[in-house]
Structure 1
Amino acid sequence: MDLRGKTIIITGASSGIGAAAALLFSDAKANLVLGARRSAELEAIASRIRGQGGNVAILSGDVIDEGYADALVNLARSEFGALDGAFNNAGVVGDMCPVSKMPIDNWNKVIATNLTSAFLAAKAQIPAMVARGRGSIVFTSSFVGHSNGGMPGIAAYAASKAGLIGFVKSLASDHAADGVRVNALLPGGTITPSGGEGDPATLEFIARLHPMKRMADAREIAEAALFLLSDRSSFMTGSPMLVDGGISVRLV
């Protein structure tokens, strides 16, 4: 799957799935614009890509800032001339607790980071793609937006990820005739900092929920994102694509 000549924005690119995607998309010859809050980690990923001959620009910031969403698009245009795709991957799990004990600040943070940021990203990215008559946008949802899979205490996270699926379907309907495809990626448990990386008990619990009895490596999820951003998925739009090790069909 070749992204040669395409310029792709990746958010949440400093670690986990986003970092794996940055390295993979660079191997596929994409021009990359990487965004994340942690500037040092972001620069480290960019340095690896540059060291391998890749083309990359970076900008640190917060995805819940509308100005930041605009700035990433402007950077893509100024550095590489256009915007062809985006992997809007940044997100948070938030505090895991029952709704009756959940602080409103936690709810607001999760919804803003996972769902409102998608609105801001799309608002900035879609006009740039419509102007070219083509583009592909991928949002990272989760299997919990489709089927909880037996995980307690994640109401805010599940609501935000389910909301993303509905949002993607609406965007896809609005812009299919413009040549802009919009899809959702629904990973299962993935070995990342937010997915329990480094905590053996958490990893074992999550792995047991999957019929495959393991969690995904971040690169496995990045491979699916690459497919959705490539021309190999040219007739796909509005799809919630499960890459979840079978957890969504697990018998509880």
Structure 2
Amino acid sequence: MVQISPPKRYPEMREKIALVTGGSTGIGLATAQAFAREGAAVIIAGRNEKRAKQALTTFSQDSRVSWIECDVTSGRDVDRLISSALREHGKIDYAFNNAGSGGKMSPIASMSEDAWGKTINGYLTSVFLCMRYQLPPMLEAGRGVIVNNSSVDGLRGYPLPGGAAYSAAKHGVLGLTRSAALEHAKDGVRITAICPGWIGTPPVENFIRKNERVGAQIVGQEPIGRLGTPIEVANGVLWLCSDAASFMLGSPLVLDGGYMA
């Protein structure tokens, strides 16, 4: 296991409010934990209450962390999420739109419309809905940072058969991010994205265990010779949200172990 040093300290995050969708596992949980270490109050949004309760046990007792149930493909749910966060905290300073889900992966020639729709809704429409409801309070306050989780597959075609819809959605996240960032470049709200390579999240690790040959191909695509870790992505998200990234706008941060080099 690669040991990663603790993230830089960002004192400006103390007493700030951070929202992390899909914050119960993997990259989302690591990012929520990183925000909490910096002294921010953290709202985890997700669909699975059991998983959320397990996630909450990983935080220190003095952390201010809560969970709100939300399906990010539902505008009504997202509206309720943001309204609840504002009632509780009065503001949202940072939002990491990380949650995503999709339909069954298959080649384009045999992909069902239902699978396509679920993937586009789960990975792209969900990000639009989150920004749609996060932006008004941030614009009113004249400050805030939104980081959207795209992927290296938003920068290139998916390298294995069956991932066209996922790649299309992640390309869409970058187009949405860039356009929104330009719309609000002078409004005090920074919008950007992160593009992880292959990261050792529970789904990826489970997939590799079941498919050793494909797993070897996946690791082989990383010039660094290993999968990334969720905390490495979380460190990037926190930097994007920090004052140190004040000139970072629209363009994505690529964290990929050399994958796109």
TM-score computed with the length of structure 2 as normaliser = 0.90
Q: Which residue in the other structure is 2:235 paired with?
A: 223
Distance, in Å, in 1 between the alignment partners of 2:188 and 2:136 is 11
1:155 aligned onto 2:167: no
Q: Distance in 2 between the 1:81 and 1:33 partners?
A: 13
Secondary structure of the residue aligned to 2:68 is strand
Q: Which amino acid aligns with 1:219?
A: I
Q: Which residue of 1 aligns with 2:5?
A: none
In the TM superposition, structure 1's runs of 4+ consecutive aligned residues that sit over 6 Å from their partners are none
Q: What is the deviation of 1:113? A: 0.8
Amino acid aligned to 2:30: A
- Are positions 1:82 and 2:94 aligned together? no
**Equivalence for 2:258:** 246
Residue by residue, what CA displacement relative to the aligned partner does 1:201-234 show, whole Å, maximum 9, x if unpaired? Answer: 1433211111112111111111111111111111
Answering whether residue 112 of structure 2 is matched by residue 112 of structure 1, we say: no
Deviation at 1:82, TM superposition (A): 0.9
Task: Choose from 245, 248, 254 the match for 1:233.
Answer: 245
AA aligned to 1:233 is A
* Shift in Å, 1:84: 0.7
Deviation track 1:132-187 (CA, whole Å, cap 9, x = no partner) reads 11100000000011023633320000000000100000000111111000001000
CA distance in 1, matches of 2:238, 2:61: 19
Could you tell me whether the CA contact under 8 Å between 2:52 and 2:67 is conserved in 1? yes
Q: Which amino acid aligns with 1:218?
A: P
Tell me whether 194-203 or 215-224 shows the greater mean CA deviation. Answer: 194-203
Shift of 1:235: 0.9
Query: Deviation digits for residues 79-123 of structure 1, max 9, x if unmatched?
Result: 222111100001135433210111111110110011101111111
Aligned to 1:205: 217
Unpaired segments ≥5 residues, structure 1: none
Kept in 1, the 8 Å contact 2:146–2:191? The answer is yes
Identify which range, 54-63 or 121-130, moves more after superposition.
Answer: 54-63
Q: In structure 2, what is the Cα distance between the partners aligned to 1:18 and 1:166?
A: 22
Deviation digits for residues 18-45 of structure 1, max 9, x if unmatched? 0111111111111111101111111222
Aligned to 2:47: 37
- Aligned equivalent of 2:6: none
Query: Distance between the aligned counterparts of 2:124 and 2:170, measured in 1?
Result: 7
Query: CA-atom RMSD, angstroms?
Result: 1.5
1:14 to partner: Cα distance:
1.2
User: For the residues of structure 2 that align with 1:240 and 1:148, how far apart are their CA atoms?
Assistant: 17
Note the C-alpha offset of 1:6: 1.2
- State the alpha-carbon separation in 1 of the partners of residues 77 and 245 from structure 2: 29
Is the 1:33–1:72 Cα contact (8 Å) retained in structure 2? no
TM-score normalized with structure 1 length: 0.93
Match of 2:226 among 214, 224, 229: 214
What letter is aligned with 2:15?
A: G
> What residue number does 1:137 align with?
146
The answer to whether the 8 A contact 2:20-2:28 is kept is yes
Q: Structure 2: where are the runs of 5+ without partners? A: 1-8
